């Protein structure tokens, strides 16, 4: 009886100590959580956002500050530039950014970024607004303008047409986007947004700007004879590749037949007692391994008919025809062609500086030097006729 009582007391003591330890652990966690919150609140009061910043910024872990992300900051600025014009819905802004960056920008994410005052120098933490010490990516005036568009205010009066080249050009003087507006209810003019102050970029009529942009497509023109030569070369490469693949497939098929023939013959020899069980097992393992390697190599040929020729042919044909297509199309269609070819384009008062997408950058360099082949001293640039 005394033994049972002693065991019961020990068990009760262990449960009590466990309960105490649990309470102490909970108290420690609560205190730690409060200390963390206190530290983050103090950091916010000092003007530093105490968490992960939005797109366009990054945490500097060494200095424990927030700095501008040079890779993503232009994307965030473009987001506000485009949406503030009132010419884009949230979905269209996301699509425009996705086309330029190759990343997804869902509608909810675009709206979340546009409503974040962090970009104009302030942030909200635990319901309070603080002045941040981080660098502003946009002005407070632009942020308020965007909020007005989000709330249904500041919509443009004219909706009869889209501005074809919006989002395509960047000002060479201050890196702002080039936007458009309608003058006298019929003329479209492009100009710098001026979000960083007045700059030297003049106003451009849409028609004049379209002519200058056409030069970009003229500069990647592939002459007809060069196009035929390149496509012939691609076809020859593909035919040669297919011939080599066929030869390799035939070789592997023969090798597979030999391996399986050896396995069948060895099995018959084992049954007839001409070879030992140990010899059969050892060699069969090697043959089965060789068989699997050959089967894997043959499988690699299945369904791998390359579309390389088709893709390359389309790119070359586009470079050959795009300028002439451009001349006959409306501004909206012209813009589509330009966006297929360009990743970026800066403009100043006198010139355009395009950044071509791959492989059009390589085509541009070849067209500039006319180094299509060993010969080539003739003028290969297209005429407008």
- Say if 96 falls within a structural domain: yes
pLDDT at 156: 44
Q: Which residue has the tokens 């062609």?
A: 337
Q: Are residues 286 and 356 in the same domain?
A: yes
Q: Are residues 253 and 379 in the same domain?
A: yes
Q: Are residues 139 and 233 in the same domain?
A: no
pLDDT at 248: 86
User: Which CATH number belongs to the domain containing residue 132 in this structure?
Assistant: 3.90.1750.20
Q: Are residues 227 and 325 in the same domain?
A: yes
- Say if 10 falls within a structural domain: no
pLDDT tens, N- to C-terminus, the chain (385 residues): 555 555 554 555 556 555 555 555 565 565 556 666 777 788 888 888 888 899 999 988 888 888 999 888 999 999 998 898 888 888 888 888 887 888 889 999 999 999 999 999 888 888 788 888 889 998 888 888 898 888 875 444 444 456 778 778 889 888 888 888 888 777 888 888 877 778 888 898 888 888 888 888 888 888 888 778 777 776 777 777 778 888 888 898 998 899 889 888 888 888 888 888 888 888 888 888 888 888 888 887 665 444 554 566 777 777 788 788 888 888 788 888 888 888 888 888 888 888 888 788 888 887 777 766 544 444 555 655 4
pLDDT at 254: 92
CB of 87 within 8 A of CB of 80? no
Helical spans, DSSP H, in 85-223:
90-101, 107-114, 140-150, 206-218
Q: Are residues 105 and 231 in the same domain?
A: no
pLDDT at 209: 87
The residue out of 153, 181, 196 marking a domain boundary is: 153
- Say if 6 falls within a structural domain: no
pLDDT at 27: 59
pLDDT at 26: 62
Q: Are residues 220 and 294 in the same domain?
A: yes
CA-CA-CA-CA torsion sign (78, 80, 83, 86): negative
Which among 88, 196, 188 is positioned nearest to 142, based on CA atoms? 196
- Say if 341 falls within a structural domain: yes
Query: Is the overall model pTM greater than 0.85, yes or no?
Result: no
- Say if 231 falls within a structural domain: yes
Q: Are residues 232 and 93 in the same domain?
A: no
Which among 369, 363, 366, 341 is positioned nearest to 354, based on CA atoms? 341
The residue out of 153, 169, 203 marking a domain boundary is: 153
Q: Are residues 228 and 359 in the same domain?
A: yes
pLDDT at 113: 92
Q: Residues 241, 244, 245, CA angle at the centre, nearest 5°? A: 85
Neighbours of 338 (CB within 10 A): 22
Radius of gyration of the chain (CA): 34
Range of the domain at 318: 214-385
Q: Are residues 218 and 353 in the same domain?
A: yes
Question: What is residue 225's three-state secondary structure?
Answer: helix
- Say if 107 falls within a structural domain: yes
Q: Are residues 249 and 363 in the same domain?
A: yes
286: which 2 tokens?
A: 């090697």
Q: Is 176 left (phi over 0), alpha (psi -120 to 50) or beta?
A: beta
The secondary structure element, H or E, covering residue 228 is helix 224-271
CB of 169 within 8 A of CB of 192? no
The residue out of 108, 127, 153 marking a domain boundary is: 153
Q: Are residues 148 and 224 in the same domain?
A: no
- Say if 184 falls within a structural domain: no
- Say if 385 falls within a structural domain: yes
293: which 2 tokens?
A: 């390697």
pLDDT at 157: 44
Summarize the chain as % helix, strand, coil (round to 5).
Answer: 55, 10, 30
Q: How far is residue 165's CA from residue 174's CA, in Å, rounded to a whole number?
A: 19
Q: What are the DSSP calls for 250-318, one per residue?
A: HHHHHHHHHHHHHHHHHHHHHHTTSS-HHHHHHHHHHHHHHHHHHHHHHHTTTT----HHHHHHHHHHH
Cβ neighbours of residue 44 under 8 Å, at least 6 residues apart?
50, 123, 125, 126, 128, 130
Q: How far is residue 226's CA from residue 229's CA, in Å, rounded to a whole number?
A: 5
Q: Are residues 135 and 237 in the same domain?
A: no
pLDDT at 302: 66
Sheet containing 352-356, strands listed edge to edge, beginning at the edge strand earlier in sequence = 170-171, 342-347, 352-356
The pairing of beta strand 128-131 with beta strand 122-125: antiparallel
Number of compact structural domains in the chain: 2
């Amino acid at each position: 009886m005394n033994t049972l009582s002693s065991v019961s007391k020990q068990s009760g003591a262990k449960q009590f100590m466990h309960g105490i330890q649990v309470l102490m652990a909970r108290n420690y966690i609560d205190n730690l959580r409060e200390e963390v919150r206190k530290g983050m609140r103090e950091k916010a009061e000092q003007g530093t956002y105490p968490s992960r910043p939005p797109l366009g910024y990054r945490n500097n872990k060494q200095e424990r500050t927030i700095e501008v992300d040079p890779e993503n900051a232009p994307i965030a600025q473009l987001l506000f530039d485009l949406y503030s014009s009132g010419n884009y819905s949230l979905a269209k802004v996301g699509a425009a950014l996705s086309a330029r960056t190759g990343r997804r920008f869902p509608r909810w994410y675009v709206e979340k970024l546009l409503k974040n005052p962090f970009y104009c120098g302030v942030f909200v933490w635990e319901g309070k607004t603080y002045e941040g010490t981080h660098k502003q990516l946009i002005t407070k005036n632009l942020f308020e303008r965007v909020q007005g568009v989000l709330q249904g205010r500041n919509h443009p009066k004219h909706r009869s047409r889209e501005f074809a080249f919006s989002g395509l050009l960047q000002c060479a003087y201050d890196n702002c986007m080039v936007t458009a507006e309608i003058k006298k209810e019929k003329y479209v003019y492009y100009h710098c947004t001026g979000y960083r102050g007045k700059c030297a970029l003049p106003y451009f009529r849409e028609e004049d700007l379209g002519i200058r942009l056409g030069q970009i497509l003229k500069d990647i023109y592939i002459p007809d004879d060069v196009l035929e030569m390149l496509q012939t070369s691609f076809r020859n490469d593909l035919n040669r590749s297919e011939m080599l693949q066929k030869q390799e497939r035939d070789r592997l098929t023969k090798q597979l037949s030999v391996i399986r023939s050896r396995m069948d013959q060895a099995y018959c020899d084992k049954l007839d007692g001409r070879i030992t069980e140990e010899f059969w097992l050892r060699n069969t393992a090697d043959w089965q391994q060789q068989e699997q390697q050959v089967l894997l190599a043959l499988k690699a040929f299945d369904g791998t008919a390359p579309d390389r020729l088709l893709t390359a042919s389309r790119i070359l044909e586009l470079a050959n025809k795009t300028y002439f297509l451009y001349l006959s199309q409306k501004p909206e269609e012209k813009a589509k062609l330009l966006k297929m070819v360009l990743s970026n384009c800066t403009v100043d008062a006198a010139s355009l500086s395009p950044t071509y997408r791959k492989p059009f950058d390589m085509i541009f360099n070849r067209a500039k030097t006319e180094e299509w082949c060993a010969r080539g001293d003739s003028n290969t640039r297209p005429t407008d006729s």
